[in-house]
Amino acid sequence: MTDLHQGGCQCGSLRYRFQAPLRDIAHCHCTICRRSSGGLVVTWITVPRAAFEWLRGEPGEYASSATCTRYFCRDCGAQLALFTRHSPETLDVTIGTLDEPEHAPADRHIWVGTRLPWLNLDPQLPDEEEEHI
């Protein structure tokens, strides 16, 4: 497989692609990811910002914290990407919106201080206290 990967939202209004290897992938257990997605975790891949482009549509965006902007579909609500000023050269993209997420396993957990105590997901992976927010 090549390092060119595509994805999009549930309704098809937004499509994107990036050219980067499928690594640096984290299960995020922060409460902002949980509440903004409705899921138990959001799993993110970090890619060079310059390697990412929108192919179709214009995402909605909002500031989920003082340093973080989240990009979502205005039509279906899917959350696709995140930019944090702590890491201005990169963009985080949701693994769940990739066309082939089966090729993108996570390599660690982040924000484990707010991990749900009954969640049993990839227990073999290392934990980190925090990363973006």
Q: Does 119 bind Zn ion (CB under 5 A)?
A: no
The residue within the footprint of Zn ion, chosen from 15, 19, 40, 75 (CB under 5 A), is: 75
| Widest CA span in the chain | 39
Q: Does 93 bind Zn ion (CB under 5 A)?
A: no
Name the minimum Å distance from CB 100 to Zn ion: 18
Q: Does 11 bind Zn ion (CB under 5 A)?
A: yes
Q: Strand, coil or helix: what is 31?
A: helix
- Token pair for 117: 């105590």
- Token pair for 67: 């340093």
Give the Cα separation of 112 and 127 in Å (integer).
6
Q: Does 50 bind Zn ion (CB under 5 A)?
A: no
Q: Which residues bind Zn ion (CB under 5 A)?
A: 9, 11, 13, 28, 30, 33, 73, 75-76
